[in-house]
Structure 1
Amino acid sequence: MPNVALGSHYEEFVRKQLESGRYNNASEVIRAGLRLLEDHEAARERWLNEEIPARYDELMNKPSLGIPAETVRSRFETKRRNDAAKAK
């Protein structure tokens, strides 16, 4: 297994996790992070391979479930304007 360079940001993060007492060593911190990544990737694969095709089939069988592109664009534009106003 190759050595991994984490960089100062993640080295500091690992140090803080160790100081919290939740982990006994850096390997435990890294394994916890890899488990989360593994779960995330598995969920992403399920979404891509199961959920999206199922929604597509559902839409093809009942086109009235669809939302017109102009409606989607309008909603995004409204949200963008509202977010920009809140940021002021």
Structure 2
Amino acid sequence: MPRNTSIVLSDELREFVEREVRSGRYSSASEVLRDGLRLLEDRALTRDRLKAAIVEGEESGPAEAFDMDSFLDDQNAAWGKRA
């Protein structure tokens, strides 16, 4: 359930919020702040996923040499067998 919360913004941020509302992109300052918080939440989730992927990569063992030509030859052979 929505709840009123007071926040203090710098003059710069207050002006930015007001410009966004005047532009018509948002109908209220609350909408601007909610959208900003959603973006911040998405960014935090992305950061957490990237950190988890880094840990997974580090735990997967040492890097191995990769030969793209050999890989493509294997793929072409596999697809050729399917046709």
Q: Please give the TM-score of this superposition, normalised by the length of structure 1.
A: 0.62
1:1-88 matches, within 5 Å, as 2-48=5-51, 50-58=52-60, 61-63=61-63
In structure 2, what is the Cα distance between the partners aligned to 1:25 and 1:2?
15
Q: Identity, % of aligned pairs? A: 37
Gaps of 5+ in 1: 66-88
Greater relative CO (CA pairs within 8 A, separation 6+): 2
Q: CA RMSD in A?
A: 1.7
Larger Rg: 2
Number of residues of Structure 1 aligned to a counterpart in Structure 2: 62
Q: Please give the TM-score of this superposition, normalised by the length of structure 2.
A: 0.65
Amino acid of the residue matched to residue 53 of structure 2? E
Gaps of 5+ in 2: 66-83
Deviation (angstroms), 1:63: 4.2
Higher share of residues assigned helix? 1
Which runs of 4 or more aligned residues in structure 1 lie more than 2 Å from their structure 2 counterparts after TM superposition?
Answer: 61-65
